[in-house]
Chains A and B, each alone.
Chain A
Amino acid sequence: MKLRMQITKEKGIRFVSHLEYMRTIERAMRRAKLPVAYSEGFNPHMKFSLASALGVGITSKAEFLEIELAQEIELESALEKVALALPLGIHIKAADIVDNKIPKLMASAACADYLVQVPCTQACAEELHKFNAAVSVLFQKPIPKGRGKTKEIEVKNFITRVDGNFNNNNLELKFSCKITPTGSMKATELLKILRDQFALPILLEQADIERTDLYGLNTKGEKKALIGDNNF
């Protein structure tokens, strides 16, 4: 069986990297003394994974974590222990316990919602409309460790529309971004596209980006929660 949790990455720890976030969770699990399963071999490691990596600097209400367990546990008392073992800046939002046969969260996560607050001098309604109406938006995405090499991707395959709300020199942007087996896009990449290709005068470097949700999609393309009903 495995324990699945929806946890947060809050403002104060937004600059903790994905790897550091993973290590933090691993240590918290050890502090919580849950009967976690380990891999065999010389360098045993905890069997756990996150549904989707989050970029450095981005906060999240929806990080999904699953941990394989070596024996049965009772959810409520386990969560009490985990909550005490987590550092400031990570909280549990939901959790369940499921059979090992249930597909990995990583395979189920299909879409992420983002909320961005970014300094801007104008409402940009027209510019956003242009993006939303465009059939195709191309982007040269840098290849990881590709030494400056890029590959062209179709933004519209991932993000079809962006909603804006302007208030007090602050532009609030909301969008959903698909996660496919062949890849996804970063929120910062979208902001760059909006600034460079659609002339939004946003101060990208000061953008406060939050992942507000991560979920699966059913065959009809409707939102499907990643884990069970134990919401907190």
Chain B
Amino acid sequence: MRKKIAIDILSSVEKPARYTGMEFGSIIKTEEETEVSIALAFPDVYEVGMSYLGFKILYHILNAQPGVAAERTYSPWVDMEAKMREHSLPLTSLETMKPLQEFDFVGFTLQYELSYTNILNMLDLGGITMFAAERGEDEPLVIAGGPCVFNPEPLADFVDFFIVGEGEEVMVEVMQLYKQWKKAGKPGGRSEFLRRVVNITGIYVPSFYKVEYLNSSAEGIPAGCFKSVTPVNTIAPAVVQKRIVKDLNTIDFPTKIVVPYGEIVHDRIMLEIFRGCSRGCRFCHAGMVYRPVRERKPEVLKELARKLVDSTGYNEISLVSLSTADYSCLEPLVHDLINEFKEEKVSVSLPSLRVDSFSVELAKEVQAVRKSGLTFAPEAGSQRMRDVINKGVTEEDLMNAVGAAFANGWAQVKLYFMIGLPGETDEDILAIAELAKAVQGKYKEVTGKGGAKVTVSVASFVPKPYTPFQWVGQNDIAEINRKQMLLKDALKIKNITYQYHDSVTSVIEGVFARGDRRLGKALYLAWQRGAKFDGWSEHFSYERWIKAISDSGLDKDFYATRERTQNEAFPWEHIQPGVAREFLWEEYEKSKTGILTEDCRHADCTGCGVCQNLEAKIIDWKSNGL
């Protein structure tokens, strides 16, 4: 065990138990049994990072490997960071309190663009050289994966290699390779390891690629735009294909997890019932990059649930996925889980519900033990706009869903929307208010009285890579603010609560979502000037970001608000989730006239290309005859 943080430091910071570890289920391996060590680094505070299922899975799978020690580390909150800098304390893991710089690997998850400055900050606090090109032989390999890996370019200067796609199998392969290389005496140093690891499918070594930009405008594409990315050697693949687990039933899911002392954001069992979603919402990044849909068998899930309840002591199981109501055997599964755990006072919860597959019977069942609110995501107010984004739900669906809920005693509904969608008019914005009013009207119709509480939560749309909207220009701040106020005025209604996000954070999110390698400089400058916890509005400074971007010789509008032409090449297209560019363009074209595309689980193949490119198939237990 390393040096503990002194009492006076811990007693002077908020929530000190964030930094002390020793939770039930944490795995501490001795130095003798450790051949390769990795710090799973979440670039946000403990309560947020501890809620991330992906790291629970990797922690379990990696530690199950003999000789592999996976530990956890999180961003210290600003009060703790100040103390650490004052006393020259390095950022360490929670398990062995080992400084990050002593690990073989430090692995970050890229959950959202606004966490990137925290990655830089954690490297700095962990005593690791910031730029990958300058890192010494004895320093850790800095790796990263997660949803934002489908455009890793803004982080290319800082990361030694990226893991593209689902990590369960590829991470084990990387650890095995490292063990062999270490045993052989690390021949050729870290550059040789990179040359070896790049042979594994799903590994992207950014230093093995050269990026070129247009010197002058060509074919309608302005100068300064991305031109090409090409390998500088013969071993790096021209295109890095994402890794997926073809059948979730055959891989390990954690049945013993770290149970925190303090309350974390998702303080419950998270049971992943399936991966992927093929509803095809055109704004949705996750829906495109996590394809195809692969369900876990109900029997497997019930067994996992039993083991997790026994090993954690949690009293709630949340059935998680991108669209839980779409699980083909959801009703029998929920029913069985509730019956199994009722006596033990364990409840079952569903994170969000689609209005078209909403079942009030199901909602009533999950309420059996504990009460929970109802949340729906129509995403847009008008039918026209919902068709543009291929949401595939109607006002009638929503009214049926809330009507059934109201008839069964619910009186509170939360509705999620987006504004700033492509082709949006003021009528579309005002339709959000109309819809909220209609929901209140439905309550009156069903119950004969007024007073239904409706919360309207509105996010600003940010175009993401590998979605049909990757070509569109994002609304600028003035336009988003105007739309927010338009809606605010329209929603001054009793019992309707209106929540909306700060427009400026969406701009920076948009810049990095579709950014290129040149943004690494802006990221570095912003961090140097104090940017961190950008996802926390009290720490976000728009002025600092704009200055960092312009001081790097770049323009935020070039990345965020600029509409791209069909033939413009994108800086992320060498990292492949398997979705064909032609499919995305076709979907974009269809969106302009509001033509819907059906879910390929229940209709014909839409030609997105994922199953063919990844040699995978949809796994749906109901249609598989179970």
Contacts and interface: CB of A to CB of B under 8 A. Distances in A.
B10 A57 contact: yes
Given A13-B20, A30-B313, A23 B8 contact: no
Contacts of A43: 370-371
A16 B262 contact: yes
Interface string B1-35: 00010111011100011011111111000000000
Interface string A137-170: 0000000000000000000000000000000000
Contact of B310 (A33, A56, A87): A33
A203 B19 CA distance: 23
Contacts of A205: 7-8, 11-12
A15 B17 contact: yes
Contacts of B6: 206
B311 interface: yes
Contacts of B313: 26-31, 85
B22 A88 contact: yes
A131 interface: no
B11 to A, nearest CB: 5
Interface string A26-51: 11111101000010001110000000
Contacts, number: 87
A20 B20 contact: no
B11 A23 contact: no
Interface in B427-444: none
B261 A31 contact: no
Contacts of A23: 261, 263
Interface string B344-386: 1100000000000000000000000111000000000000000
A interface, size bucket = 20 to 34
Given A13-B17, A13-B22, A56-B16, A31 B7 contact: no
B315 interface: yes
Contacts of B26: 88
A29 B314 CA distance: 11
Given A23-B261, A27-B314, A31-B311, A12 B22 contact: yes
Contacts of A85: 24, 313
A43 B347 CA distance: 10
Interface in B255-279: 259, 261-263
A124 B310 CA distance: 53
Nearest to B346: A30
B311 to A, nearest CB: 7
Nearest to A206: B8
Contact of A21 (B4, B7, B20, B261): B261
Contact of A27 (B7, B11, B22, B259): B259
Interface in B15-60: 16-17, 19-26
A50 B90 CA distance: 37
Interface string B504-517: 00000000000000
A210 to B, nearest CB: 12
Contact of B261 (A16, A206, A207): A16
B312 interface: yes
Given A12-B20, A12-B21, A13-B17, A208 B7 contact: yes
Nearest to A44: B345
A24 B261 contact: yes
A228 interface: no
Nearest to A203: B8
A121 interface: no
Interface in B106-151: none
Contacts of A15: 10-11, 16-17, 19-20
Interface string A5-21: 00000011111110011
Contact of A206 (B7, B17, B19): B7
Interface in B137-174: none
B17 A27 contact: no
Nearest to B20: A15
A26 B314 CA distance: 9
A153 B572 CA distance: 68
A17 B310 contact: no
B261 to A, nearest CB: 4
A169 B610 CA distance: 69
B7 A30 contact: no
B17 A17 contact: yes
A60 B3 CA distance: 22
Nearest to B12: A205
B23 A87 contact: yes
A111 B311 CA distance: 37
Nearest to B8: A205
Interface in B300-320: 310-315
Interface in B552-582: none
Contacts of A27: 24, 259, 312-314
B263 A20 contact: yes
Given A27-B314, A31-B310, A38-B345, A16 B371 contact: no
A56 B262 CA distance: 12
B371 A42 contact: yes
- Which of A13, A15, A21 counts the most chain B CB atoms within 10 A? A15
28 contacts: A12-B20, A12-B22, A13-B22, A14-B7, A15-B10, A15-B16, A16-B261, A17-B262, A20-B17, A20-B263, A23-B261, A23-B263, A28-B24, A28-B313, A30-B314, A30-B344, A31-B310, A31-B313, A38-B345, A43-B371, A44-B369, A56-B16, A57-B16, A87-B23, A88-B24, A205-B11, A206-B6, A208-B7
Given A15-B10, A17-B262, 13 more contacts: A13-B20, A13-B261, A15-B20, A16-B17, A16-B261, A23-B263, A26-B313, A29-B313, A31-B311, A44-B369, A57-B11, A87-B25, A208-B7
Interface of B: 4, 6-8, 10-12, 16-17, 19-26, 259, 261-263, 310-315, 344-345, 369-371
5 nearest A-B pairs in the assembled complex, by CB-CB distance:
A27-B313, A30-B313, A87-B24, A205-B8, A15-B16
